[in-house]
């Protein structure tokens, strides 16, 4: 005996339209609810501006004493950078900078761009008789070194060269070395970290502590 095929009445066109509307409405409502849950989650993962930055870092007494004995040759200074990035717990990371004895007169004569026009720095270039240089080459971000035998800073990556006060003298770097802020707090020297945009003649701040 042949089995009767099951048959479902699709309903009238009006009923079909009503069912289609209800399905679309449920899907749309689900999308709105999902979006409402996702947006706060994404926002919670984005660090606020207040949560990003670095604090002032002290220069140890031993490091400061070594710098006091320096001549016109730069001294490598190590310190602990207290970093807060908004995603991870605050942490201390050992960093280094280059310091050299200097005065504003030295820089105004040899690096006037740091005192004039749009590229003028918003902090003293020389303070307490010294200038602190970021160790990052302004070309593409490598770490340069002081080469005593040649009496200049040299970047090992692309050959940029700088004088002891950071004047650019050779290689592809578009500007001189970047000074960092230095301050005196109750007789103790402190510095803060600044990241500048690379490969541009202008001092464009990306991050300041």
CATH of 49-208, one of 2.102.10.10, 3.40.50.720, 2.40.50.140, 1.10.3720.10: 2.102.10.10
Q: How many residues are listed for the chain in this entry?
A: 209
**Does the predicted TM-score (pTM) go above 0.85?**
no
**What does the domain layout of the chain look like in residue ranges?**
49-208
Residues 6+ apart with CB under 8 A from 37: none
Q: H or E element: which one contains 188?
A: strand 188-191
**Rounded CA gap, 3 and 10, in Å?**
21
- pLDDT tens by residue, the chain, 209 residues: 444 444 455 555 555 565 665 655 555 555 545 444 433 433 333 333 333 345 788 998 998 888 888 888 999 998 877 665 555 445 567 889 999 999 889 899 999 989 988 778 888 999 999 999 999 999 999 999 999 999 999 999 999 999 999 999 999 999 999 999 999 998 889 998 888 999 999 888 888 76
- Give per-residue burial for 184-209: e unless 16+ CB within 10 Å, then b: eeeeebbbbbbbbebeeeebeeeeeb
């Amino acid at each position: 005996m042949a089995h009767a095929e099951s048959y479902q009445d699709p309903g009238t066109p009006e009923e079909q339209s009503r069912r289609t509307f209800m399905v679309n409405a449920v899907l749309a409502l689900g999308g709105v609810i999902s979006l409402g849950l996702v947006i706060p989650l994404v926002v919670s993962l984005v660090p606020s501006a207040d949560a990003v930055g670095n604090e002032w870092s002290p220069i140890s007494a031993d490091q400061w004493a070594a710098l006091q004995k320096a001549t016109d040759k730069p001294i490598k200074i190590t310190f602990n950078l207290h970093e807060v990035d908004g995603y991870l717990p605050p942490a201390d990371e050992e960093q280094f900078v280059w310091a050299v004895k200097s005065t504003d007169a030295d820089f105004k004569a040899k690096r006037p761009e740091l005192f004039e026009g749009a590229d003028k720095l918003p902090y003293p270039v020389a303070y307490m008789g010294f200038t602190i240089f970021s160790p990052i080459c302004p070309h593409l971000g490598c770490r340069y070194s002081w080469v005593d035998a040649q009496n200049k800073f040299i970047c090992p990556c692309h050959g940029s060269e700088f004088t002891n006060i950071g004047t650019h003298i050779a290689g592809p770097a578009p500007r001189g070395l970047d000074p960092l802020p230095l301050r005196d707090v109750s007789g103790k020297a402190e510095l803060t970290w600044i990241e500048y945009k690379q490969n541009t003649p202008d001092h464009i701040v990306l991050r300041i502590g």
